[in-house]
Structure 1
Amino acid sequence: MPDAPLLAAALGVVVGALLTVALVVARRFALASRDLGSDAERATHRTLHLAAAAAAALRGGRDEPDPARAARHLRALLSADAVAIVDAGADRVSLDGPEELASSARRIAARVRESGRRQVFSMPEGDAVGAPIVVDGQVWGAVVAFAGAARGPLVRATGDVAQWCAAQLELADLDASRAALAEAELRALRAQISPHFIYNALTAIASFISTDPPRARDLVLEFADFTRYSFRRQGEFTTLAEELRSVHSYLELERARFGDRLSVRLRIAPETLATVIPFLSVQPLVENAVRHGLEPGERGGVLTVTATDDGTHTEVVVDDDGVGMDPVELAALLDLDAPSTHVGLRNVDTRLRQLYGPGGGLVVETNVGAGTSVRLRVPKSQPRHETARG
């Protein structure tokens, strides 16, 4: 056949093209597999992913965890037929697996709670491993893993998972304790809004009722705004703009009392106003400057509030040219164990250090007769801290 050589050549071209395509596909598949990592690396990644997912479910704490979702991830982590998390105190069973295993999980958890140690149980439908979840020295509950045969790796892994669950619950309790401490510190700051200040503010307002009724009305509104902001209950954070509005109301009330003896200067860079700051962190510094810096002096003085942007942080400085104080006394008043009338200053310093580290506290410069300068710096980016408007 005269066309046979042409057909053979064409067939060779097609086969060559197919081989080339196959090699390209194989190479890409190999590269993709290599990008995903080795089998060991993929197994590690999967384990970490499941552990992180289960941690998020448990970090609601002992009072409000989500054990049902955690059990689903732990079942995959242990490669078990079913996994249950049993709150032994409330007798709650969160099971990922056949529903008929719930009663068995409850009985196993009761046995584990009595013994306080990991145990293996044989049942008609297979084996089960129960391990106690011990939080603060008390058995909170148990992890129960079901499998056809409870081999050594599953037994050890179930005990490790129970210990890991206990750690997550303890961390959640620690987070709750920190939140409670922050709330207590805010209550302490609110308590510094003394009856003496309220009395003085209302007396100043009353003095204008007959002589200057419009001024008295404005001061009543300032007093309402100040107290509404100071006693709001939403959130541990606010914006600098909101805090400065409260500072303005406070200073208007104090100026009504001091008259010409109190001068106020505000130097606020507009770009700093949106900065998220701890609630009641600037206002106590201003109040401290008025009460302890300017009020003791006969002539009063000048209070200056400055806010600047240095790129990564917002810096707020509260200056007064009042009586000042001895630096040794300053060190004592910032000592948590020492009694002090400057509780607001100490409280703000403590909260800042808890939030931003040991170097994030107040910087105070003062001396007798030389006034006082108090500076705080907060990061401009704080994605974990939300504001709540009151």
Structure 2
Amino acid sequence: MHLILIISLQQATPVWREGEKAAAAIGFGTGVAVAFLVYRLARRVPWPKPFRLRFAALHLVAAPLASLTWYALSVTLESLVPGYIPDVQGGSRVEMHLMLGTIFYAIVAGVAHAVEGSARAARAEAMAARTQLAALRAQLHPHFLFNALHTVVQLIPVDPARAMEAAELVADLLRATLEEQRDEVTLGDEWGFVDRYLAVERIRFGERLIVRAEMPEDLLDERVPAFALQTLVENAVRHGAAPRVAATEIVVTAAGTASELTLSVRNSGDGKPAPASGAGTGTGLARLRERLAVLYGSAARLACGPAADGGYEAVLVVPRHRGRAV
């Protein structure tokens, strides 16, 4: 009889050990599941500012509930393991689950609140950046439109037909400006807008304004800040062509490396530098620099100064990232 009992125990030992392994796996799996629920709860209830007692009370209640849920799930699933009898009467196991569960709850909830806090800060920063960009665009839009309208006004008494042509072009510019809400556009779209702006200025200056553009086809899908190239070209017209009686040539070029896109606007002249702040209201280039800082941080740069062969040159460098702007 004793021999039979000993043989039975020896045969049961492997089953018992397998049951312990299964129970350990169940404890880990149920713990991960409860931790995921705690993480979701903490993300849905962000850390309040100012701190509220109701928030603390929520976690003080949720922590033991999560621990007991972990314990109940573990015991229930362990009872389904063949040959394994879970210890449901030992108070030490309940205490262990409460203690470990509370510690894990605090860790998971802390991580969740830290992640949510970072996400909220990032969203706030992005919203502030979008608000700032919208404000800068609002200041930039009327800037060149007023100049274009001034061109129309100047033409009315001397050449009504050309004034009508210019007015239609200005209306087209205004429509495009009001419809454009993107912070970045493709170089092709930007150059198309600049070309229409230059058409207005060609009516005004006639043969005194010569424009030459070098835009490689493989760069036209690259993204640039909206109205950035237009600002540089307008600056060249205002401070290059407008003050001079002789013809002024404006050369617009684009070049790219593996990581950067470079736009250059150079105007011929007597070598006198244009005002550093930009044209018109004196804020054109300053606003462009602010927008570059918001969009790219230190990854973009704008340099302006006398050109080597006379005149003035503005060079804009932005990070290169191919793709249609949205």
Q: 2:253 & 2:39 partners in 1: Cα distance?
A: 64
Q: 1:260 aligns with which of 207, 222, 242?
A: 207
Q: 2:183 aligns with which of 236, 247, 268?
A: 236
Q: Residue 361 of structure 1: CA displacement?
A: 1.1
Corresponding residue SS for 2:189: helix
Counterpart of 1:151 in structure 2 is 102
Q: Residue 115 of structure 1: CA displacement?
A: 6.7
| CA radius of gyration, larger in | 2
TM-score (norm 1): 0.57
Q: 1:237 & 1:365 partners in 2: Cα distance?
A: 25
TM-score (norm 2): 0.67
Q: Quick check: 236-245 or 308-317, which moved more?
A: 308-317
Quote the RMSD (CA, aligned, Å).
Answer: 3.9
Q: 1:220 & 1:367 partners in 2: Cα distance?
A: 34
> Does structure 2 retain, via aligned residues, the 8 Å contact 1:323–1:369?
no
Counterpart of 1:191 in structure 2 is 142
1:83 is the counterpart of 2:23:
no
> Does structure 1 retain, via aligned residues, the 8 Å contact 2:39–2:109?
no
Q: Output the amino acid matched with 1:265.
A: R
Corresponding residue SS for 2:201: helix
Q: Output the amino acid matched with 2:134.
A: E
Structure with more relative contact order (C-alpha pairs < 8 Å, separation 6 or more) = 2
Distance 1:272 1:186, change over 3 A: same
> Would you say how many aligned residue pairs link Structure 1 and Structure 2?
265
Distance 1:172 1:267, change over 3 A: same
Q: 1:221 aligns with which of 139, 151, 168?
A: 168
Q: Residue 349 of structure 1: CA displacement?
A: 2.6
Distance 1:151 1:291, change over 3 A: same
Q: 1:323 & 1:355 partners in 2: Cα distance?
A: 34
1:128 is the counterpart of 2:62:
yes
1:345 is the counterpart of 2:273:
no
Q: Residue 186 of structure 1: CA displacement?
A: 1.2
Counterpart of 1:7 in structure 2 is none
| Structure 1 residues 292-371: aligned runs within 5 Å | 292-325=239-272, 330=276, 333=277, 341-366=281-306, 370-371=310-311
Q: 2:256 & 2:63 partners in 1: Cα distance?
A: 58
Distance 1:290 1:162, change over 3 A: same
| Structure 1 residues 33-112: aligned runs within 5 Å | 77-78=35-36, 80=38, 83=41, 85-86=44-45
Q: Residue 229 of structure 1: CA displacement?
A: 2.0
Runs of at least 5 residues in structure 1 that lack an aligned partner in the other structure: 1-38, 47-73, 90-109, 122-126, 131-144, 335-339
Q: 1:79 & 1:204 partners in 2: Cα distance?
A: 71
Corresponding residue SS for 1:263: strand
Report Cα offsets for 1:309-345 as digits up to 9, x if no partner. Answer: 4454432211111354459x64xx49xxxxx944111
Q: 1:262 & 1:219 partners in 2: Cα distance?
A: 16
Counterpart of 1:381 in structure 2 is 321
> Does structure 2 retain, via aligned residues, the 8 Å contact 1:81–1:146?
no
Runs of at least 5 residues in structure 2 that lack an aligned partner in the other structure: 1-24, 69-97
Q: Residue 116 of structure 1: CA displacement?
A: 6.8
Q: Output the amino acid matched with 1:113.
A: R
Distance 1:147 1:307, change over 3 A: same
Which structure features the higher share of helix residues?
Answer: 2
Corresponding residue SS for 2:233: helix
Q: Residue 295 of structure 1: CA displacement?
A: 1.1
Q: Residue 205 of structure 1: CA displacement?
A: 5.7
Q: 1:251 & 1:264 partners in 2: Cα distance?
A: 8
Which structure features the higher share of strand residues?
Answer: 1
Corresponding residue SS for 2:179: coil
Q: Sequence identity of aligned pairs in percent?
A: 23
Corresponding residue SS for 1:181: helix
Q: 1:197 & 1:286 partners in 2: Cα distance?
A: 13
Q: Residue 290 of structure 1: CA displacement?
A: 0.9
Q: 2:128 aligns with which of 154, 177, 200?
A: 177
